[in-house]
Amino acid sequence: MTANRIGIDFSQDYFDLCLANSDGKPITSKRFSHDQLGSQAALDYILPLCQAHPADQVWIGGEATGLLWWHLYQQWAQDDQLAQLNPIFHLLNPAHIKGFRRSTSRQDKTDPKDARLITRYLGVPDQDLHIWQPDASYWGLRFLTRTRFRLAHLLASYKLQAYNMLYIKASAYRQVMPFSDVFGRISLEFLRSYLCLEEVIRMPVQDLATELDQFPGHAHLPDPSQNAAKLGQVARLSYSVDPLVLDSANFILNRWIELIEALEKELRTFDRFITQRCESDLDIQNLDRIGGISLIFAAGLAAELRPIERFFVDDKLDPQTGIRRPRTASQAQAAAAKLAGLWWPANQSGKFNAEERHMPIACNAYLRYYLVEAANHVREYVAEYGQYY
């Protein structure tokens, strides 16, 4: 099978395009403005050239640099004239292109040469290139779940910073755990209200218990006296702090608390919007029926795995017969796990065969997050899976 190759190097204002024939020989290279007019002009430019150099397919490759590739790929995938040339789109990992550059002879690094390098990379045999499938309809949900992923990680980061200031203010707080959740509403209200632990030491336990039970807008504690006693223990066990340092710690901790509460509110807003979006999605509803996954994690999984046909696109080499065969369901599952970085590559050379295998760092971080979170929640709800887990 022969294929012309198109390498594209994207930047914010323009993109460089290099067209090579099926033998890898460059035909042309040109720069276009990175907008709708430039994208169409590039199509109009390369279509006659591809027709003048006939091949079975056209391989189109570009680096997944942010989302700079997104509009052009979506537009080209819908072009009827390009479809007649059997285009195959490849979305390339920039780290792989960087590694490939190191293996080639030293050259200037410029945008036109980067586009040419991509055409050479596409021609390397026996590569497991990711084939990009037109998926514009899935990106609405994908943008939502990916933004939620970032908010969740940002929230975790803010909480870590808040823990640091909490340790300065009340070093024994997390040891004694006066409340079940450090960032629960009553715990945060207490941290805001009491700027100095000396106040807690001087206050009778019952008075503190009464005050905890009367915090505005919060559910009542089952046993506020027990919480008050633990707060007294925190005050007695914590290190004393210089007043100026304590003043700064209180100020910073209160700011972190405000940011944490704001992010938690945003996460709840996202969850409501995603839930409304997925009410009529049968695949997500079916996933949600698995105990513990929840609609949000089901939506995240669906957003990253769709379209699932892409996991069946490439043929797989049968090591016993040497014949390439269509992928089986188990091989497609393995491909999805590999995309999430949930695999352990072998490390063997000669007689050496490493016993310890390490998961790769490079992966689809969004898919890994939703898979791991979903699995962890199912573990808590399904006893059989918990034993397997």
Q: What is the pLDDT of residue 239?
A: 96
Q: What is the pLDDT of residue 84?
A: 95
The CA R_g of the chain, rounded to the nearest whole Å, is 28
| 221: nearest Cα among 203, 208, 234, 232 | 208
Q: What is the pLDDT of residue 139?
A: 92
What is the DSSP secondary structure assignment for residue 13, as one 8-state letter? S
Write out pLDDT tens, residues 331-370: 889 888 888 998 888 888 888 888 788 888 878 999 999 9
Task: Identify whether the C-beta of residue 92 lies closer than 8 Å to the C-beta of residue 9.
Answer: no
Q: How confident is the model at residue 135 (pLDDT cuts 50, 70, 90)?
A: confident
Question: Is the model's pLDDT at 117 over the cut of 80?
Answer: yes
Q: What is the pLDDT of residue 218?
A: 59
Kindly state the tokens that stand for 205.
């336990």
Domain ranges for the chain? 3-134, 141-277, 282-388
Same fold, 3-134 and 141-277: no
Q: What is the pLDDT of residue 217?
A: 64
Q: What is the pLDDT of residue 175?
A: 96
Grouping H, G, I as helix, E, B as strand and the rest as coil, residue 352 is strand
Amino acid at 158: Y
Residue 359 CB coordination number (10 Å):
12
Grouping H, G, I as helix, E, B as strand and the rest as coil, residue 146 is helix
Please state the rounded mean pLDDT for residues 306-329. 76
Q: What is the pLDDT of residue 227?
A: 93
Evaluate whether the domain defined by 3-134 bears CATH number 3.30.420.140: yes
pTM (2 decimals)? 0.85
Buried-exposed string 313-330: b where 16+ CB fall within 10 A, e elsewhere: bbebeeeeeeeeeebeee
Grouping H, G, I as helix, E, B as strand and the rest as coil, residue 131 is strand
Distance CA 266, CA 261 (A): 9
The CATH architecture to which 141-277 belongs is Orthogonal Bundle (1.10)
Please state the rounded mean pLDDT for residues 58-71. 94
Furthest C-alpha separation in the chain: 90
Write out pLDDT tens, residues 174-219: 999 999 999 999 999 999 999 899 999 999 999 999 998 888 765 6
Question: Is the model's pLDDT at 316 over the cut of 90?
Answer: no
Q: 87 φ, ψ to 5°?
A: -75, 140
In the block, tokens 């949900």 appear at 141
In the predicted model, what is the mean pLDDT of the chain? 91
Write out pLDDT tens, residues 218-230: 567 889 999 999 9
